[in-house]
Chains A and B, each alone.
Chain A
Amino acid sequence: MNTNIQEIKDLSIGFKSQKGEQISILRNITTNIRKGETVGIVGESGSGKSTLALAMMGYIKQGLFTTGGECFFKSLDLLKLNNKELVEIRGRKIAMIPQNAGQALTPNLKIGYQIEEALKLHTDFNKVEREQKSSELLNKVRLPSPKIMALRYPHELSGGQQQRVAVAMALAGNPELLLLDEPTTGLDVTTQAHVLELLKDIAKDTGKSMVYVSHDLGAIAQVCDRVIVMYAGEIVLEGPVRKILKEPIHPYTYGLLKSIPKLSLSGLPDSMPGSQPQPGNIRSGCSFYDRCNFSDDECKVKVPELKYLPEIDTSVRCFNHSELTSKTNEQKITSDSKKEITIDEILDLKDVSISYAKQGIIDQFLNKVTDTNPTVKDINININKGETIALVGESGSGKSTILKSIAGLLKTKDGYIKFDKEKLLSGDLKKRSSEDLRSIQLIFQNPDESLNPNHTVEQILSQPLKLYFGLTGSKLKSSIAELLEKVRLGAFYMSRYPRQLSGGEKQRIAVARAFAARPDIILCDEVTSALDVSVQAAVLDLLQKLKEELGTTYVFVSHDLAVVKAISDRVAVLYQGRLCEIGPSKDVYQFPSHPYTEVLIGAVLEPDPDVKPKLVAEDIVEEKPPEIGCSFQGRCPRILGEKCRQEVPPWQIGENGNAIRCHINIEELKIQQS
């Protein structure tokens, strides 16, 4: 019996450019999906992984066309079927789970109705059976009380719950193959870990085949049996998950794994030079030649074939893979280069609370305090000159809110922010002096949004230079060139528009713009979240080097604990706008720690199939912080009882110097957590 559920043979997909040239996005893809296995497709953005996944259900995006090859589902060539025949297959045989479930669900239809609609389309059940089946499905994806859930609208669910509903809808037609396109990207760490757990169990229970597309090797490691690594539209490595992630024999995979920050390592990850070639710019020879450390002259002219190595059940597209096998296991030991921070306070947040609630005119007049439960409350953080302090937490933890109030974009409700020991920073941007504004600069998450699309790089960088230093003419030009040099870009970038740059280059421009003001403090708001891992490592490295060179202080906001560990000196963990734990980063990642920190660290996915996340708490999403008591009472796995619900926990200082805000005695915590 044929065990392959899907066979892809020599598939190439491309488009015609305006000049009429044929440009390929996928080149000669040959692979199989076996019955009951979960295959991960990994690659950076633009590697063609989503195009491949869509082709697996016979869908080619508009403007693209197949230039050769076949895609068999059982014995049917999906690419030769007409629409009517495809409708029969999609949903019933092959189903897709989209990346952003919030956008995939119809906002004004109830969850139950949407699932029943999927059932109506893909099954022959009658109305009563459908109702029963839909609750069964909701139960299967572990949504609490399916009957009530079915009556809700998508916006009443959290991101994780929406994703579960999307999984339930995909399962409605009882398909044999499930395609998942980045199903957990954009979810919080704890939610992500739970959703992955669910997907894994579904695969095990039902014996369905799954194709899991992701850029996140951590997620791939958790759910997949086999991994396909894509680069510039080609498969470069394919094999069992353990082989690929533990002993990668392709230089790209090797570099990719090296560039992922891990909790088990300290210091910054290695970065990979260069970037993936754009479709149409692929020259002769190996497409990874430019960035490869193991390349020789042969790689430059000859394209390596995907070679199957039966002894390790792996296919690899590299001439020199044998060289890598021996080198892989050498783990570079990065010394902890972080220097000791002298206590020299630059920023002092004292009892800061911030509220989004707007006071009405009458309340304002009566001087009534309407919001007793502000979004951010009682934040006390001292930041020293030259250190990197990270604010960590899930979405809704108030980390960006705090950052905005430091930048002056949000008013604080209570407390104050002091800069350079004596200067009180006004909550009103307009009241801050130009000097104060210059001293604190922001870098945003998404460079696509933070750079004006109608400005050239020169115009972008000249804004702060003109504003703060009044530079003009040749002085301005030379300063811009200097800045570009500083962020490892050449002066020839000046005349380019943001759309002509890659993601990493754009973020470098954003970094350059922040440094143009010669600031004392730079506020980094999730600066690497929108970037590919290899680019992320390079940007982190750049930030670290600039800091060492210029002595800048960073306030670094991130949801990624591994990134935070790599770059920060000190970490503050936030939950629902309240501080849970603060301390030197090496200590915060060690026990004893606050139960919330414990939950967060437990949920981090390592790109290693043998390291499983520890799911200690429920992935409930709380809308509002509790009025009284500990902020984490709703989800705490170690809750003591009434005390936690009634009293705000006290600060306790651990032996390593990290402060924990918990009712549980610190010694007790240590015993419980070890």
Chain B
Amino acid sequence: MENSKNIFNENPKSSLAKVLDIISTMASKPSGFIGLAILIFHVTLAITSPWFAPYDYKAINPTLMLNAPSSEFWFGTDSLGRDVFTRTILGGRTALTITFFGSIIALLWGGLLGIFCGLVGGRIDDIVMRIVDAFLSIPWILAMLLIVSLLGTTTEVLIPALGFFYGKGIVRVARAATHDVIAKDFIVSAKARGHSNLSIIWNEILPNVRDAILVEGAMRWSWMLLGFSSLSFLGFGVSPPTPDWGLMISNARGLMSFAWWAVIAPIVGLSSLIIGINLTADAFAKALGIDRSTKAPV
């Protein structure tokens, strides 16, 4: 009732206007604003940091080992004498890129498979879902370690591998969202008209489940970021000397008691990015009218 008047005066909007609308709704709440600000800050930093990084990230200088923060080295130096500030602002680049593309892969295969299973149902659905369940029961980190040690830690391996392991959850969300609309008469109507499954997925189902899947994908992104950093921490993510938060934490953790600065900077970088993504995803969900607090999708 509240919106009835606005709805009747509403004019059709271009898709760009719709996106801007959603973003302005997200930013209208403090939590959404903070989340968006952190996310935008991180993304801009990752894109622009190579141009203003004060030092060479791989320049080893034994005379500058473990210097405390100073006006010369803002965040101090690490055990090899490298500038922690330089390495911190550069450290999110690889993680962000790999997990971003990983999430897109996860979204694509997870979303499409989930919708397909929800649509066709029956035996195919049963079989696919049991396979997904079986994969869900494997500790992902062990499986990742196995893949990485067999195929190497290149980007070409990491992106699809992460995309695969984080897409399993999206399959379930997409399938549940599809089940919500599948019983509606407009799907029955499309079936009775004789549309192909692909056409029904694309035209009828996707517009109705898109929002739920996108929100889930955004949440998966933050999880994947944490997962990727864990891999780096264990030495299976980015290979040195490429700066990476997980790797930095791993290298400096033994010296934490007297060189806290070398650990604190990457930790703040990683956790602020994850918090930023989480807050943004929540605000995104609310802006789209999906309330994650009352309705768990899985």
Chain A interface (Cβ < 8 Å from any Cβ of B): 15, 17-19, 23, 25, 63, 278-281, 407-409, 429, 432, 434, 437-438, 441-442, 444-446, 449-456, 459, 463-464, 467-468, 495-496, 499-500, 513, 517
Contact = CB atoms under 8 A, between A and B. Distances in A.
A467 B185 contact: no
27 contacts: A17-B2, A17-B6, A18-B6, A23-B5, A63-B1, A278-B8, A279-B4, A280-B4, A281-B8, A409-B192, A429-B191, A434-B194, A437-B193, A441-B192, A442-B189, A442-B192, A444-B188, A449-B185, A450-B184, A452-B207, A452-B208, A454-B207, A454-B208, A455-B203, A456-B12, A467-B193, A495-B11
Interface in B3-62: 3-8, 10-12
Contacts of B185: 444-446, 449-450
B123 to A, nearest CB: 11
Contacts of B8: 278, 281, 500
Contacts of A25: 1
Contact of B2 (A63, A438, A454, A455): A63
B96 to A, nearest CB: 31
B12 A280 contact: no
Contacts of B189: 442, 444, 450, 513
A449 B184 contact: yes
Contact of B4 (A278, A467, A496): A278
Given A450-B186, A450-B189, A467 B1 contact: no
B1 A279 contact: yes
Contacts of A19: 6
Contacts of A464: 193
Contacts of A280: 4-5
B195 interface: yes
B188 A463 contact: no
B2 A18 contact: yes
Question: 9 tightest CB-CB pairs across the interface, nearest first?
Answer: A454-B207, A450-B185, A437-B194, A495-B12, A449-B185, A444-B185, A280-B5, A452-B186, A407-B192
Given A17-B2, A18-B3, A278-B8, A451 B192 contact: no
Contacts of B204: 452
A454 B2 CA distance: 20
Given A15-B1, A450-B185, 16 more contacts: A17-B5, A18-B3, A278-B8, A279-B5, A408-B192, A429-B192, A432-B194, A441-B192, A441-B193, A450-B184, A451-B186, A452-B204, A463-B190, A467-B193, A467-B195, A517-B193
Interface in B190-228: 190-195, 199, 203-204, 207-208
Contacts of B188: 409, 442, 444, 450
Nearest to A430: B194
A495 B13 CA distance: 10
Contacts of B10: 500
A518 to B, nearest CB: 13
A463 B184 contact: no
A354 B12 CA distance: 45
A449 B186 contact: yes
A53 to B, nearest CB: 16
B7 A463 contact: no
B7 A499 contact: yes
A17 B6 CA distance: 9
A63 B234 CA distance: 54
Contact of A463 (B2, B5, B203, B207): B203
A437 B2 contact: no
Contacts of A23: 5
A389 B11 CA distance: 41
B29 to A, nearest CB: 16
A399 B292 CA distance: 40
Q: Which of A23, A432, A454, A459 has the largest number of chain B CB atoms within 10 A?
A: A454
Q: Which of A434, A468, A500 has the largest number of chain B CB atoms within 10 A?
A: A500
Nearest to B3: A18
Interface in B141-192: 184-186, 188-192
Contact of A453 (B2, B190, B208): B208
Contacts of A453: 208
A451 B190 CA distance: 10
A17 B7 CA distance: 12
Contacts of B4: 278-280
Q: Which of A25, A449, A513, A517 has the largest number of chain B CB atoms within 10 A?
A: A449
B55 to A, nearest CB: 51
B193 A463 contact: yes
B132 to A, nearest CB: 24
B183 to A, nearest CB: 9
A513 B203 CA distance: 15
Contacts of A455: 203, 207
Contacts of B191: 409, 429
Contacts of B194: 429, 432, 434, 437-438, 467
A231 B48 CA distance: 63
A446 B194 CA distance: 21
A659 to B, nearest CB: 30
